[in-house]
A and B are shown apart, each in its own frame.
Chain A
Amino acid sequence: MSHEESIVEIDDLKMWFPVRTGFLQSLLSKEQLYVKAVDGVTFDIKKGEIFGLAGESGCGKTTMGRVILRLIEATGGKVRFKGEDVFTFGKREMKEFRRRAQIIYQDPYESLDPRMSIFDFVAEPLIVHKIGNEKELVVDALERAELTPPQEFFHRFPHELSGGQRQRVAIARAMILNPEFIVADEPVSMLDVSIRSSILDLMVRLRDELDISYLYITHDLATARQVCDRIGILYLGKLVEEAPIDALVDNPLHPYTQALIAAVPVPDPTVEKSKAIIKGEIPNPINLPPGCRFHTRCLYAEEICMKKEPKLIEAKKDHRAACHIVTRK
């Protein structure tokens, strides 16, 4: 499935949010503080690939999705979409980019406009982009999202639909402009377990049929394993490991990834129980630890880890890790 051609290239991307302080505090300290939500991340997404981005809450995964789509302006770095620098796009190019890159949000109870009928909601992108033939295209999009028969949904409103159906509506709207790239931000975490698999199934099928590429943002490694081709693990705004999904799950290199995977409970009472290898919780993102950001919780931390920030380098073929100890050999 992995074609060699990249559709999205992310290069040293940074998104820093300034911390607003009170007047007195601003007099006392000269330094402007930042929350470095995304802090120098580099990876690429190949055409037709589902690239997973995983990590704990507050690691910057949602911010990353939003910066890539330029829904917020990055602090630094580059995002190239099919070779073109997204951050230099003018108004017209931006509109074209908006057509080709879409997003599906986490909560279908929030992302749908409660006062718009399903038809109006799904057709709205067509109006924005002045594409005619609405009815036919809406029927098509709803059918693709497996909301059948489509006509039955035209005049219904979000409150009449279940969570799974709402997320299908969101997918139909994202699909109607024939995008090439979709950011799916925790698309199933708000849904019931029995519905999740059908939504993930639908996303994978659309990829297979239409060669769409996804950035799949999630905190759930078990579902990521089911749908992703490759995955990156984020910790405090940095990519700590990136590899094909099976390599990462079966043979994680970075101590943080190892801890994450050991912590996931398995729906099988006969295998080993989940383990909390590392203690504590994610530190405050304003006062980042020096050196490797993970060293405060790492079991193997050495002196170098406290001083020097490790680079994300290839430890094995197609398998990159940012850890002094793993990449030393």
Chain B
Amino acid sequence: MVLLDVENLRTYFETRGGFVKAVDGVSLQIEKGDALGLAGESGCGKTTTVLSIMRLLPFNGRVLGGKILFDGVDMIKIDEEKLRQEIRWKRMSMIFQGAMNALNPVFRVGDQIIQAIRVHEGITKESASKRVEELFSLVGIDPDRTRDYPHEFSGGMKQRAIIAMSLACNPDLVIADEPVTALDVIVQAQILELMRDLREKLGLSMIMITHDLSVIADICNKAAIMYAGKIVEQGDIVTIFKHPEHPYSQGLLTNYPSIKGEKKKFAPISGRPPNLISPPPGCRFHPRCPYADEICRREDPETVEMKRGHYVACHMKNR
């Protein structure tokens, strides 16, 4: 069953320098139970894509085209009040980047989660507080610590509390923006273990934004590689990691160091991502692509399904 269907999404930001085409024709599908990893360099539009889905764009960002269907509901057209009451947090929640450092230092951690629950569900404080205790044990924090303040928590515990908050209203889809980036490796492994567990236990669907490809290989079943506002390749993780087709995905993966297997010979991708106010014509990757041809400079490549569920946007591969 398709839970989330995004088609040809375009989100631009209005700035003094012109329109920044942050997301420009992104399509993706999440089936129930999927965990999709969305990877790419900073500024490629990963976060903008999910903020468009959650309808949490900053004031100067606008969805200019495309379609976002969440379980049949048109997320672009839905009334703000209805969105807030029926969808956001209740059915679709988010772990924001750096949220563990955004817990309010003068309120008890438990109370902050109670507040999040009561904004969305009309239940009493007592039952909300009971829910928080359950959530705490679900994410591996001692339920007796709901009355602690954020400074009494370690980094890993704060991140667990944020995950608990995202699960507070039993959502179907959790969007996690760089959930382990600022954590030390052992704590990171603990959180990844927790997220794998929760996915299994609760049958959660997830979108996981990260620049860390190894994290995607660790907990996702699908991956999408983004470059300059477009998804250049997506598919199941084994295909993406073992047989990437797009030159950009290949470049990212060959340069990704690993603790296991053969040591790699680096072949860095030259150049840097384009300015999204005036992206290059044709394929946006062509100025950095070793295989770029005449057609790549002229025409934007279409996304083609090379094999079932494996989509690639590259002239060279799609011929």
Contact = CB atoms under 8 A, between A and B. Distances in A.
A266 B217 contact: yes
Interface in A257-302: 259-271, 273-276, 278-279, 281-282
Given A194-B41, A266-B259, A281 B154 contact: yes
Contact of B189 (A164, A192, A265): A265
B59 to A, nearest CB: 25
B264 A226 contact: yes
Contacts of A249: 259
B186 A266 contact: no
B16 interface: no
Contacts of B258: 222, 225, 266-268
A274 B272 CA distance: 31
Interface stretch (A1-9, A129-137, A196-204): A196-204
A263 B218 contact: no
Interface string B220-256: 0000000000000000011001100000000111011
A265 B190 CA distance: 11
Contacts of B266: 197-198, 200-201, 226
Interface string B185-221: 1111110110010000000000000011111011100
A148 to B, nearest CB: 12
Contact of B186 (A200, A201, A259): A259
B247 to A, nearest CB: 12
B261 interface: yes
A263 B42 contact: no
Most chain A beta carbons < 10 A, residue from B196, B256, B261, B267: B256
Contacts of A269: 217, 237-238, 241-242
Contact of B214 (A200, A264, A278): A264
B25 interface: no
A266 B218 contact: yes
A56 B188 CA distance: 11
B217 A264 contact: no
A256 B277 CA distance: 48
B268 interface: yes
B212 to A, nearest CB: 7
B184 interface: yes
A57 interface: yes
B213 A193 contact: yes
Nearest to A162: B272
A193 B252 contact: yes
Interface residues of A, number: 42
B184 A221 contact: no
A279 B272 contact: no
A85 B213 CA distance: 44
A223 interface: yes
Interface residues of B, number: 44
B221 to A, nearest CB: 8
Most A CB within 10 A of own CB, among B186, B190, B251, B258: B186
A219 interface: yes
B269 interface: yes
Contacts of A265: 188-189, 192, 212, 214-215, 217-218
Contacts of A326: none
A195 interface: yes
Contacts of B41: 192-194
Contacts of A56: 184-186
Contacts of A193: 41, 211-213, 252, 255-256
A279 B260 contact: no
Given A219-B184, A262-B189, A278-B186, A267 B263 contact: no
A14 B176 CA distance: 41
Contacts of B251: 194
B61 interface: no
Contacts of B179: none
Q: Quick one: which of A219, A264, A278 has the most chain B CB within 10 A?
A: A264
A318 B184 CA distance: 28
A164 to B, nearest CB: 7
Nearest to B272: A162
A275 B214 contact: no
Contacts of B190: 276, 279
B256 to A, nearest CB: 5
Contacts of A162: 272
B75 to A, nearest CB: 30
Contacts of A275: 189, 193
A278 B186 CA distance: 8
Contact of A276 (B186, B214, B255): B186
Given A193-B213, A281-B154, A225 B263 contact: yes
A267 B241 contact: yes
B185 A226 contact: no
A259 B266 CA distance: 27
Nearest to B43: A192
Nearest to B190: A276
B110 interface: no
8 contacts: A164-B272, A194-B251, A197-B257, A222-B258, A260-B185, A262-B189, A270-B241, A278-B186
Leading 8 A-B pairs by shortest Cβ distance: A198-B268, A263-B189, A197-B255, A265-B218, A265-B214, A276-B189, A197-B266, A222-B257
Given A222-B257, A263-B188, A270-B242, 16 more contacts: A57-B184, A162-B272, A193-B211, A193-B256, A194-B41, A198-B266, A198-B268, A201-B268, A220-B185, A259-B186, A264-B185, A264-B189, A265-B217, A266-B258, A271-B261, A281-B186
